[in-house]
Amino acid sequence: MTRDPINRRLGVLVSGRGTNLQSLIDAIGDGRLDASIAVVISNRADAGALGRAGAASIESLCLSHKGWPSREDYDRALVRELQVRDVGLVCLAGFMRIFSAPMLEAFPNAILNIHPALLPSFPGLHPQRQALEHGVKVSGVTVHLVTAELDGGPIVVQRTVPVLDSDTEDTLAARILVEEHVAYPDAVRMVLDGGWKVEGRRFVRL
């Protein structure tokens, strides 16, 4: 499937402090990324990311995942909030939820996720801890298209960092985070610019 340039209105989904949201806000603000953020949606009312959206005058809302009859129902509600704002690309920025069919079908190859490890190594929770425990000498960040496979979709951008013998989970996470803030705006730009296709599990630029 070949993608033409897509609608540059982003929907950013968050659950936490929102430094990756901030990297997108900053990249748009200083002209490195030609896009706009149509909405920030958090599944947690206490997410620091909501304050960042407010400070940047971006519309935000909290859509709690609790109390829905099923994961599909929650995802359908998310789809409605995104589609009503004409979002073209969904960016998961620390959004701690797994999607079901309604989200994946509404945004085929139009959802990005950022993961603080070099996938396919260390998917899932605590990837920095997994990397340290495994003893790898290099780790990093992956931005990938979201598919039904957890942390398994086509890889758009990866950046690496060294893993030091002296590292703790926190020091490694901090080193990776610096690269996350470069990788995410880069990946969003590549996806929005089009001229790529998905071939098997590969994201290929034409």
- Give catalytic residue positions: 115
Q: Pick from 114, 145, 155, 157 the residue near ligand GRF by CB under 6 A.
A: 114
> What three-state secondary structure class fits 38?
strand
Q: How many residues bind ligand GRF (CB under 6 A)?
A: 11
Query: What is the Cα Rg of the chain in Å?
Result: 16
Tokens of 88: 């073209």
116 touching ligand GRF, by CB under 6 A = yes
* Cα separation, 72 vs 140, whole angstroms: 32
Name which of 125 and 206 has its Cβ closer to ligand GRF.
125
153 touching ligand GRF, by CB under 6 A = no
93 touching ligand GRF, by CB under 6 A = yes
154 touching ligand GRF, by CB under 6 A = no
Q: Which of residues 166-185 bind ligand GRF (CB under 6 A)?
A: 180
Residue nearest to ligand GRF (CB): 94
Binding segment for ligand GRF (CB under 6 A), chosen from 16-24, 28-36, 73-81, 148-156, is 16-24
Name which of 173 and 192 has its Cβ closer to ligand GRF.
173
* Cα separation, 37 vs 35, whole angstroms: 7
Least distance CB 132 / ligand GRF (angstroms)? 15
18 touching ligand GRF, by CB under 6 A = yes
Amino acid at 87: V
* Cα separation, 78 vs 65, whole angstroms: 10
What angle separates helix 127-134 from helix 169-193, to the nearest 10 degrees?
A: 120
Smallest Cα–Cα separation from 18: which of 167, 184, 154? 184
Q: Which of residues 20-59 bind ligand GRF (CB under 6 A)?
A: 20
> What three-state secondary structure class fits 10?
strand
Compute how many other C-beta atoms are within 10 angstroms of the C-beta atom of residue 105: 11
Name which of 19 and 121 has its Cβ closer to ligand GRF.
19
Residues within the interface to ligand GRF (CB under 6 A)? 16-20, 93-94, 114-116, 180
